[in-house]
Structure 1
Amino acid sequence: MQVTLLGTGDTTGTPTVGCDCATCERARDRGVERTRFSVHVERVNGDSLLIDFSPDFRQQFLRESVPLPDAAVVTHVHFDHLDGLGNVYRLVDSLPVYAADETDPQTGTSVVGTIRDRYHYLDRISVRGRTPFQRFEAAGFEVTLVPVVHPPLVSYGLRVDDPDSGASLAISGDTSYAIDENAREVLRGADLALVEGIVHADLCSHHPAGGDHYDDAGRPRTFGTKHMTLTGARALADDLAADRYRIVHTAHFVPPEQAFRDDVAVDGQRFELAGAKR
């Protein structure tokens, strides 16, 4: 299984348009980017799965030269994870798009219902609802969606397993640290874990909602109510006990001495996951 990080940034990306902060300048100097979130997963036979449709879809696929997906999964309906879906029109003959079918009390519909309503005109897309914790097949992979905590909207993490090689990928999705044990158990023990960490813990003091889920040293693991700090991301990665992990969905507010550490991902990183063949 090959995993390509197409987009590793938050809603504005890094460098952020019009920003001359030290982190954006360091990214420009290094020639690296964190565009809006998306992950491409490819099997040995060439079948591929896309996780989330970044608004930067076109740029990402041209830059990384990965094949167009045979199927896709959407984790939640925030624009930076969904609004690239329109890019596939005229590029594919057909594309199954999977998303959770649970009703969101905030919107009165599900993620899959929102996608159907918003992209009803894309006749080459077939939108398919799936129930969290129930494994399903997509592009030859076995996929399991799990609820995470990203108020006020429902949001999901997921696990992707390759049934041939036994390789596995876990993605936390956009979430606070308050992921329950049932979801963590599904995500645990993967070859690679991608965990969301939007800012450093010190920034919580400037957020109206502060931080939450403090560790033993008093460092907040949740920024506000719906994202993890770098501290929280590392703590979750430790709990999930993956062979490797990377922090994703990181904002330009992280100072450069922290923003470019080895475990904080940038676009274009690739991982070959061998797994243990069943």
Structure 2
Amino acid sequence: MKITFLGTGTSQGVPVIGCECEVCRSLDYRDKRLRVSILVETDGKNLVIDSGPDFRQQMLRERVKRVDAVLFTHEHKDHTAGMDDIRAFNFMQHIDMPLYADPRVLKQLQQEFSYIFTNHTYPGVPKVELHPIQNEPFLAQGVPVTPIHVLHHQLPVFGFRFGDFTYITDANFISPEEKEKIKGSRVVVLNALRKEPHISHFSLSEALAVLDELAPEQAYLTHISHLLGQHREVEKELPPYVKLAYDGLSISL
């Protein structure tokens, strides 16, 4: 299994428009963060988690030639806004793109991308297949996936476990029952927005406390804002088994 971090930034990305802080002015490539997404390559399939507003740029940067399905964590724009650009894969692969998400999220996609779902579509619009998922294991184009139910303030969000790898973004609460589904993962990715508390995201200290409880061999932090600090400085504060993810980072399991 290979995991590529397509984006590791929060909803505004980093740098933030108009900001002159040291992170936004940083020349370190690790401080340049597109909206959060990953590519999972496993069992001969390429699965993308979330198609945010930077989806096209991410696909071009990583030279992705095939996507077999898109899995959505939730309906917020920084996770869905780039869905129109799956058209390129429709054209190349001659398939309707399978989309996996909670029924609530699929309904939101149908509203926001209504032109895709009309009875008489305009030529060239994306072609999709909708696959509703619940909080129970499912197959995404033959790949076993275990959803992890978390809360983003009061909004339900799905994390996903693929074998020994678990990915969770946009969370500030994970129930004991859902933590049990994560335990045993060799690698865990978890959101850590900033150092100060936030209403809907784990802070750095909160994320580290959760990771300490889950005890993976390796952990990566994602969905990072410019308020967390410069990559090179924050990494010095982390336990040996925890690293900050950055755009373009690839790991293999």
For 1:115 and 1:41, the matched residues in 2 are separated by 22
| Corresponding residue for residue 59 of structure 1 | 57
Residue by residue over 1:157-205, the C-alpha shift from the partner in whole angstroms, topping out at 9 and shown as x without a partner, is: 12123xxxxxx211122111x31011111122212211000001xx3xx
For 1:155 and 1:82, the matched residues in 2 are separated by 13
Q: 2:168 aligns with which of 166, 172, 191?
A: 172
- Aligned residue for 1:36, secondary structure, equals coil
Letter of the structure 2 residue corresponding to residue 80 of structure 1: D
For 1:5 and 1:196, the matched residues in 2 are separated by 13
| Corresponding residue for residue 106 of structure 1 | none
Q: Once the 2 structures are TM-superposed, how far is the Cα of residue 145 of structure 1 from its aligned partner? A: 1.6
- Aligned residue for 1:49, secondary structure, equals strand
Q: Once the 2 structures are TM-superposed, how far is the Cα of residue 258 of structure 1 from its aligned partner? A: 4.1
| Corresponding residue for residue 190 of structure 1 | 185
Q: Once the 2 structures are TM-superposed, how far is the Cα of residue 25 of structure 1 from its aligned partner? A: 1.8
Q: Once the 2 structures are TM-superposed, how far is the Cα of residue 259 of structure 1 from its aligned partner? A: 4.1
Identical-pair percentage: 30
Letter of the structure 1 residue corresponding to residue 159 of structure 2: G
- Equivalences for residues 197-212 of structure 1 within 5 A: 197-200=192-195, 203=196
Q: 2:243 aligns with which of 253, 256, 263?
A: 263
- Aligned residue for 1:263, secondary structure, equals strand
For 2:21 and 2:62, the matched residues in 1 are separated by 27
| Corresponding residue for residue 7 of structure 1 | 7
Q: Which moves more between the two structures, 225-234 or 86-95?
A: 86-95
For 2:39 and 2:5, the matched residues in 1 are separated by 7
Q: Which moves more between the two structures, 76-85 or 184-193?
A: 184-193
Letter of the structure 1 residue corresponding to residue 183 of structure 2: R
Listed as ranges, the gaps of 5+ residues in structure 1 are 102-109, 162-167, 204-222, 274-278
C-alpha RMSD of the superposition: 1.8
- Equivalences for residues 61-210 of structure 1 within 5 A: 61-92=59-90, 93-101=95-103, 110-122=104-116, 124-132=127-135, 134-161=136-163, 168-176=164-172, 178-200=173-195, 203=196
Letter of the structure 2 residue corresponding to residue 172 of structure 1: I
Letter of the structure 2 residue corresponding to residue 194 of structure 1: V
Letter of the structure 2 residue corresponding to residue 185 of structure 1: E
Change (3 A) 1:241 1:263: same
Listed as ranges, the gaps of 5+ residues in structure 2 are 117-125, 237-241
For 2:87 and 2:234, the matched residues in 1 are separated by 35
Residue by residue over 1:136-155, the C-alpha shift from the partner in whole angstroms, topping out at 9 and shown as x without a partner, is: 11133211222211134221
For 1:135 and 1:121, the matched residues in 2 are separated by 31
Q: Once the 2 structures are TM-superposed, how far is the Cα of residue 58 of structure 1 from its aligned partner? A: 1.0
| Corresponding residue for residue 18 of structure 1 | 18
For 2:222 and 2:143, the matched residues in 1 are separated by 22
Letter of the structure 2 residue corresponding to residue 10 of structure 1: T
TM-score between both structures, scaled by the size of structure 1 = 0.78
- Aligned residue for 2:244, secondary structure, equals coil
Q: Which moves more between the two structures, 223-232 or 50-59?
A: 223-232
Q: Once the 2 structures are TM-superposed, how far is the Cα of residue 31 of structure 1 from its aligned partner? A: 2.5
For 1:86 and 1:75, the matched residues in 2 are separated by 17
Q: Note if contact 1:48-1:67 (Cα within 8 Å) is conserved in structure 2.
A: no
Q: Note if contact 1:170-1:193 (Cα within 8 Å) is conserved in structure 2.
A: yes
For 2:71 and 2:108, the matched residues in 1 are separated by 14
Letter of the structure 2 residue corresponding to residue 243 of structure 1: E
